[in-house]
Amino acid sequence: MSTRTRFAPSPTGHLHVGNIRTALHNWMLARQAGGEFWLRVDDTDAERSEERFVHAIRKDLAWLGLHTDGETRQSERLALYEEAFDTLRDAGRIYPAYETQQELELKRKIQLGRGLPPIYDRGALKLSDAEKAQHEADGVVPHWRFKLGHDEAIAWDDGVRGTQKFEPAQLSDPVIRRADGSWLYMLPSCVDDIEMGITDVLRGEDHVSNTAVQIQMFTALGAQPPRFAHEALLVGREGKLSKRLGSLGCDSFRERGIEAQALVAMLARLGTALPVEPIADIEELVETFDLSTFGRAPARFDDAELDRVNAAIVHQMGFAQVSDRLPDGMDESGWHAIRPNISTVPEAADWWRIVTGPVEPRDFDEETRVFLATAEDLLEWSDTPWQDLTATLKERTGRKGKALFLPLRQALTGRDFGPDMGELLPLIGEDRARDRLRKAAES
């Protein structure tokens, strides 16, 4: 079977940077192998799932260039889960449990107080038929747990973490269905992976214990588990898990002027041994994608590094890539002149206002005003007006270096620095240039 991966977000909110990284790596894994990447919308939580978030997820994936080969929704697959539930129950691998949340929490506290791991004690398995009937008569509706086989060793070769082994007796039998009949993550995910033909599951290391449990579920359902890999989680620059990372989504990146290519370039290699580089071609990133380069240490997400990568990406972008986002009147020569001085495309509008004006005159001293008046007199328009003007002024006034160039830049742009004046002055134009030099000389 060819490689098939999936990204399985819950539509209860917008994607955040951790989700985006998971989606990207699954897409790259499939793309590199010539396989398929699927979107699975985990919308079994009917109360919290919203259609607007489904649309937002699709929009974000498209913006990032992570096109899917198919999409499925858990809410449309409930019959499959019921069938698997019945199969496991008939096989004695699912059992009802009647404890309330408060009772479970009390058990947990007692175990912790005794220095024991807070593992479910399988109290529900010790109930007699009469005790179960009494619970039912009292109106207690059970939740359902998957019974782990304590004699079934759990082990797998993790794509990032290497050989993983778990002792089933040290794990709690997971709740797979609530008392109201709604599903938790574990069983539906296994059923979907089997039915969809998922060959590889790449997800965060916080799912390692889930994988241990699900491997037994796959086996109990008569299926071969997919290959698993668990990557390190993202942390902030300070090296700690940050709530802020949970709020960083595509909308916030777009508002900051971050390019999709920059975000992809950074997240593609974050947490790996490969350097983060401003690689705009996603296919180049795919070619170098390798799970063996992923480290076990937390992956640090640094806004400053993202800004650096973004600026470098912007400096590579051609006019055709940005023309629909530039201010009116800004042509290819304008983009070429301004591009080296910006970190985000929206910043082009600020520099373009310097071209179109008006420019607030500076308070120059008398000597500088005389120099600028001379500059206006000597300005002769040509294909290279800046080079011609500065050469003539240097010869006439004896000025050179900063004393020659800075007053002219200040008078013509109102700034002490900026784009190359050889490219900028033709954009300003002769009439505006003369007017600015004249006003600066009279200031």
Cα Dmax for the chain: 110
Contact 50, 83 (CB under 8 A): no
On whether residue 312 sits in a domain, the answer given is no
Q: What is the pLDDT of residue 241?
A: 61
Residue 323 lies in a domain: yes
Express each pLDDT in 356-389 by its tens digit.
999 988 899 999 999 999 999 999 999 999 999 9
The answer to whether 264 and 17 have CB atoms below 8 angstroms apart is no
- 34 within some domain: no
Structural domain ending residue among the three candidates 144, 177, 210: 177
Preceding amide of 358 cis, omega within 30: yes
Do 167 and 142 belong to one domain? yes
Name all contacts of 147-153 with Cβ < 8 Å and 24+ positions apart: 147/92, 147/93, 147/94, 147/95, 147/173, 148/173, 148/213, 148/216, 149/93, 149/216, 149/220, 152/216, 152/219
Do residues 339 and 366 both lie within one domain?
A: no
- The verdict on residue 382 lying in a domain is yes
Give me the helices (H) in 242-342, please: 250-255, 260-269, 282-287, 303-314, 319-322, 332-338
Is the same domain home to 387 and 339? no
State the helix-helix crossing angle for 366-378 and 402-413, rounded to 10 degrees.
Answer: 80
Quote the DSSP letter at residue 126. Answer: G
pLDDT of residue 239: 67
349 in a domain, yes or no? yes
pLDDT of residue 245: 79
Report residues of the chain scoring pLDDT below 70: 1, 239-243
Q: Which of 132, 151, 177 is the last residue of a domain?
A: 177
**334 with 405, same domain?**
no
CB atoms within 10 A of CB 37: 22
The annotated binding site for ATP is made up of: 243
CATH of the domain at 405: 1.10.10.350
Instruction: Find residue 162's DSSP bridge partners.
Output: 158
Rounded CA-CA distance 268/203 in Å is 14
Mark whether 327 and 366 lie in a shared domain.
Answer: no
**By the 8 A CB rule, do 375 and 437 touch?**
yes
Instruction: Residue 140: give its domain's CATH number.
Output: 3.90.800.10
Q: Check residue 248 and give its pLDDT.
A: 86
Within a domain: 96: yes
Q: Which residues contact 134 (CB under 8 A, 6 or more apart)?
A: none
Domain annotation covers residue 157: yes
Tokens of 223: 């299926």
Helix, strand, coil % over all residues of the chain, rounded to 5: 50, 10, 35
- 337: in domain: yes
413 and 361 fall within a common domain: yes
382 and 344 inside one domain: no
Q: 7-35: per-residue pLDDT in tens?
A: 999 999 999 999 999 999 999 999 999 99
Do residue 326 and residue 363 come from a single domain? no
**Tokens found for residue 297:** 């240490």
What pLDDT, on the 0 to 100 scale, is given for residue 1? 64
Same domain flag for 342 and 361: no
Could you tell me if 368 and 407 are in contact, meaning their C-beta atoms sit under 8 angstroms apart?
Answer: yes
Binding residues: 243
User: Residue 93: which domain range?
Assistant: 89-177
Tell me if 357 sits within 8 A of 411, measured CB to CB: no
For residue 159, what are its two tokens? 């794509």
pTM for this prediction: 0.90
**377 and 436 assigned to the same domain:** yes
Are 382 and 326 members of one domain?
A: no
Of the candidates 306, 336, 308, 309, the residue with the CA atom closest to the CA atom of residue 320: 336
CA distances from 285 to 156, 200, 206, 416 (A): 28, 19, 26, 39
Answer with the one of 127, 159, 177 that is the final residue of a domain.
177
Q: How many domains does the chain have?
A: 3
348 and 389 together in one domain: no
